[in-house]
Amino acid sequence: MDLGLIGKVAIVTGGSTGIGRATALAFAREGVKVAVCARSAENIDALLRDARDEGLDICGESLDITDTPRYRAFIGGVAKKHGRLDILFSNAGRPNNTYMMDMDRQAWDEVIALNLTAVWEGAKIAVPHMRKTGGGSIVATSSLAARIPSTRRGIYAITKAGVNSMTVMLASELVGDNIRVNAVSPGVVMSEMVKEGLRKHTDMDYLTKSAIMQRLGEPEEIADVVLFLCSDRASFITGEVIDVSGGKFRVQDPWVSWEGK
- CATH number, domain with residue 71: 3.40.50.720
Res 186: pLDDT? 96
Number of domains in the chain: 1
Q: What is the pLDDT of residues 73-114, one digit of tens each?
A: 999 999 999 999 999 999 999 999 999 999 999 999 999 999
126 in a structural domain: yes
For residue 195, give its domain range: 9-258
> From CA 86, how far away is CA 48, in angstroms rounded?
21
Average pLDDT over residues 218-229: 98
Average pLDDT along the chain: 94
Is 225 part of a structural domain of the chain?
A: yes
For residues 65 and 55, what is the distance between their CA atoms, to the nearest angstrom? 27
DSSP secondary structure code for residue 186 in this structure: E
- CB contact at 8 A, 145 and 246: no
CA distance 193 to 20: 14
Task: Determine the pLDDT at residue 229.
Answer: 98
Mean pLDDT of 218-223: 97
Domain presence at residue 2: no
Residue 18 has pLDDT above 90, yes or no: yes
Q: Are 133 and 86 in contact (CB under 8 A)?
A: yes
- CA separation for the pair 14, 91 (Å, rounded): 5
In a domain, 77, yes or no: yes
Statement: residue 200 has pLDDT above 80: no
In a domain, 154, yes or no: yes
Average pLDDT on 36-52 reads 97
Residue 16 is assigned to a structural domain of this protein: yes
Domain membership of residue 118 (yes or no) is yes
3-state SS record for 104-164: CHHHHHHHHHHHHHHHHHHHHHHHHHHHHCCCEEEEEECCHHHCCCCHHHHHHHHHHHHHH
Decide if 4 is inside a domain: no
DSSP 8-class letter at 211: B
Q: Which residues are catalytic?
A: 156
Query: Other C-beta atoms within 10 Å of 200: how many?
Result: 8
